[in-house]
Amino acid sequence: MSMAKKQAAPDQMSSLALAYMGDAIIEVYVREAVISGGAAKPHLLHALAVDYVSARAQSRFLHELMEEGFLTEDELSIVRRGRNAKSHSVPRNTDVQTYNFSTGFEALIGYLYFTGGKDRIEEIMKKMFVNHPVEGGENP
């Protein structure tokens, strides 16, 4: 789905723009997983989703991917680019380093989206749910 007529090449896009898109994509995957996990009450859905979309959770998962050697050198380069982006704001409930790593993860997902790497996004997100199964219902 692309509504923009002319879009910058992903290599030329701001890391924060990539992270912005990546955040939205991650949110869709997580919402789908928690809903298919059996939770029905909005409060529970939100609580389960936060376990995946918080800066702390994304940073932790990114570290796991890096420690396991799951990411390619090109992907690690995108992560570094996103991690080093200057956002000028950090949520109150996290520290700068954690926030920067989560931004790196989001930038990677955004970059993969814009470069047509939907299969790779799927692979990464499936790994997230294998490493951290959805609680509170059946897992997807």
Two tokens, residue 76: 């690690």
- Alpha-carbon distance 113 to 20, whole Å? 11
Residues in the chain: 140
**Catalytic: 74?**
no
Distances (CA, A) of 139 to 28, 36, 58, 120: 16, 7, 19, 21
The residues, any chain, with a CB within 8 Å of residue 83's CB and separated by 6 or more, are 100, 101, 103, 104, 107
**Of 88, 96, 86, 98, whose CA–CA distance to 54 is shortest?**
98
Catalytic residue, from 23, 51, 95, 119: name it.
Answer: 23
87 half-sphere exposure, CB direction, 13 A CA radius:
22
Active site residues: 23
